[in-house]
């Protein structure tokens, strides 16, 4: 018995020593990365629907849009004007329901950004009704409104090599996403792909201005038209002069995401295992066993809502900080990720915890078809004009320079997308 207890204690000690060693050594390269100050580059990143800027000196600032601030101020004034209607018959709608005068329930979110060749930053903001493309100059002092439309939902902004046109992904209400292009001044916006698919992440090919790479995934619907599943993502090429779509890379069982072409003509993309939707006997049994608990939880939240509404007091008296939703579950490249589980189980990259597994890899594919892995645990990346690759594992940002050196640019931030800027 004593030998068994001793063996268990030894195993526990060895396990924690192993975790401490992996946390200190990290993963993702064979050489030690440089310190944060080595990356003298501007870049931006999305976190929780907000856009942040990291200067080449290392300072991190949230982008403040005058347009967004004006919209929030207008909503606040509207809320104050209608506040007297709370608790009166004016809140009753014609159909018997209640009107909501709380327009602050529609946050203004950033969905994408990209840098221009002059250092200016383009970014897209939207709420539930309006979307707009804006630009701030390299000094970040003046905001220019380029495009503003009702029900416009753009993401994956990509500026052409000559700086004259944008390509982007436009989301529609039925789950479809099509590619659109428009001029740099916001005019001539038009769709260039169609079909029952999710087309996204457009990327211009520097040597072929009439060719556009993008990722595409098919939608599976039921007889009522509801989306039941999304297929794996493949890389396609649109020949804009003819309208023809040519398959470039199709790897069944894997998603191939965010294609880009470097100066040498190599194809860069993120590859991850495809997760097909499954619902079998195990799911049915688990749902049946958990149904009473889920019902009680729903009932509790229902009663808690009424308690907050009429008494301004919750049913719970728990103290301490609440768990933030973005630390529990985050959406990375269209997939819901359990952040707590990932931070607990995934090995860090150069000491920085990862939100995605090591099977999410950044691949470089030559024109001859030879592939090499540039980095593991890659949640997002961008390719700078000088060939530097800036990538994120969800909690940090790293730079891979053209000579192969790797440096840590940022750590301890929740990052959904990263956008490479200019060097000094």
3-state SS of 377-390?
A: CCCEEEECCCCCEE
Phi, psi values for residue 245, rounded to 5°: -105, 125
227: nearest Cα among 238, 219, 235: 219
Using the predicted structure, report yes or no on whether residue 325 has a pLDDT greater than 50.
Answer: no
Phi, psi values for residue 144, rounded to 5°: -115, 130
What pLDDT was estimated at residue 313? 59
Confidence at 255, pLDDT banded by 50, 70, 90: very high
Using the predicted structure, report yes or no on whether residue 103 has a pLDDT greater than 50.
Answer: no
What pLDDT was estimated at residue 326? 43
Residue 419 CB neighbour total at 10 angstroms: 24
Confidence at 318, pLDDT banded by 50, 70, 90: very low
pLDDT digits (tens, 9 = 90+) for 391-411: 999 999 999 999 989 999 998
The region of weakest confidence among 51-60, 236-245, 290-299, 414-423 is: 290-299
Among 79-83, 304-308, 345-349, 357-361, which range has the highest average pLDDT? 357-361
pLDDT digits (tens, 9 = 90+) for 168-198: 999 998 889 999 999 999 999 999 999 999 9
Average pLDDT, the chain: 81
Q: What is the mean pLDDT of residues 354-361?
A: 94
**What is the DSSP-derived secondary structure letter of residue 321?**
P
The region of weakest confidence among 259-273, 292-306, 387-401 is: 292-306
pLDDT digits (tens, 9 = 90+) for 31-67: 455 544 457 778 999 998 999 999 888 889 999 999 8
Residue 71 CB neighbour total at 10 angstroms: 18
Using the predicted structure, report yes or no on whether residue 320 has a pLDDT greater than 50.
Answer: no
Q: Percent of the chain having pLDDT more than 70?
A: 72
Using the predicted structure, report yes or no on whether residue 258 has a pLDDT greater than 90.
Answer: yes
Q: What is the mean pLDDT of residues 280-291?
A: 62
What pLDDT was estimated at residue 10? 59
Taking the mean position of all CA atoms in its chain, how far away is CA 58?
22
What pLDDT was estimated at residue 340? 80
The region of weakest confidence among 26-35, 75-84, 327-336, 375-384 is: 26-35
Confidence at 308, pLDDT banded by 50, 70, 90: low
Q: Percent of the chain having pLDDT more than 90?
A: 49
Structure tokens belonging to residue 138 = 């390299």
Can you give the pTM of this predicted structure? 0.77
Q: What is the mean pLDDT of residues 245-257?
A: 95
Using the predicted structure, report yes or no on whether residue 84 has a pLDDT greater than 80.
Answer: no
What pLDDT was estimated at residue 237? 97
What pLDDT was estimated at residue 200? 97
Enumerate long-range contacts of 371-374, CB under 8 Å, 24 or more apart: 374/268, 374/400
What pLDDT was estimated at residue 109? 92
The region of weakest confidence among 7-11, 177-181, 291-295, 340-344 is: 7-11
What pLDDT was estimated at residue 140? 74
**Domain limits, the chain:** 38-80+106-152
Among 8-17, 259-268, 342-351, which range has the highest average pLDDT? 259-268
What pLDDT was estimated at residue 421? 85
Q: What is the mean pLDDT of residues 295-305?
A: 66
The region of weakest confidence among 155-159, 240-244, 292-296, 340-344 is: 292-296
Residue 149 CB neighbour total at 10 angstroms: 14
Using the predicted structure, report yes or no on whether residue 2 has a pLDDT greater than 70.
Answer: no
User: CB neighbours of 44 closer than 8 A, spacing ≥ 6?
Assistant: 51, 52, 53, 54, 63, 113, 115, 121, 123, 418, 419, 421
User: Which helix H or strand E contains 374, and what residues bound it?
Assistant: strand 371-375
């Amino acid at each position: 018995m004593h030998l068994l207890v001793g063996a268990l204690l030894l195993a526990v000690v060895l396990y924690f020593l192993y975790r401490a060693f992996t946390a200190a050594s990290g993963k993702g390269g064979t050489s030690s990365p440089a310190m944060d100050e080595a990356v003298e580059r501007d870049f931006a990143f999305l976190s929780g629907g907000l856009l942040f800027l990291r200067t080449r000196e290392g300072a991190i600032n949230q982008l403040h849009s005058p347009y967004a601030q004006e919209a929030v101020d207008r909503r606040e004034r509207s809320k104050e004007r209608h506040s007297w209607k709370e608790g009166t018959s004016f809140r009753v709608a014609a159909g018997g329901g209640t009107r909501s005068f709380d327009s602050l329930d529609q946050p203004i979110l950033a969905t994408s950004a990209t840098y221009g060749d002059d250092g200016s930053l383009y970014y897209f903001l939207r709420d539930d009704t309006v979307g707009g493309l804006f630009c701030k100059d390299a000094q970040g002092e003046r905001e220019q409104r380029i495009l503003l439309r009702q029900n416009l939902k753009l993401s994956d902004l990509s500026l052409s090599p000559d700086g004259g046109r944008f390509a982007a992904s436009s989301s529609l209400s039925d789950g479809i996403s099509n590619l659109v292009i428009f001029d740099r001044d916001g005019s001539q916006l038009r769709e260039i792909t169609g079909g029952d698919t999710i087309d996204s992440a457009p990327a211009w090919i520097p040597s072929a201005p009439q060719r556009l790479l993008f990722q595409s995934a098919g939608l599976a619907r039921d007889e009522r038209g509801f989306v039941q599943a999304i297929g794996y993502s493949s890389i396609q090429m649109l020949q804009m002069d003819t309208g023809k779509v040519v398959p470039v890379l199709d790897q069944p069982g894997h998603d191939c995401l965010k294609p880009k072409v470097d100066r040498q003509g190599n194809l860069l993309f993120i590859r991850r295992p495809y997760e097909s939707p499954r619902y079998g006997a195990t799911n049915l049994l688990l749902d049946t066993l958990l149904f009473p608990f889920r019902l009680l939880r729903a009932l509790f939240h229902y009663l808690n809502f009424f308690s907050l509404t009429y008494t301004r007091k919750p049913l719970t008296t728990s103290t301490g900080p609440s768990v933030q939703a973005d630390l529990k579950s985050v959406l990375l490249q269209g997939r819901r990720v359990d952040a707590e589980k990932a931070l607990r189980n995934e090995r860090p990259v150069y000491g920085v915890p990862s939100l995605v597994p090591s099977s999410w890899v950044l691949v470089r594919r030559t024109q001859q078809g030879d592939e090499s892995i540039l980095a593991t645990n890659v949640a997002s990346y961008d390719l700078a004009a000088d060939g530097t690759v800036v990538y994120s594992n969800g909690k940090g940002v790293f730079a891979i320079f053209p000579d192969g050196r790797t440096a840590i640019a940022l750590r301890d931030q929740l990052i959904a997308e990263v956008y490479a800027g200019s060097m000094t």
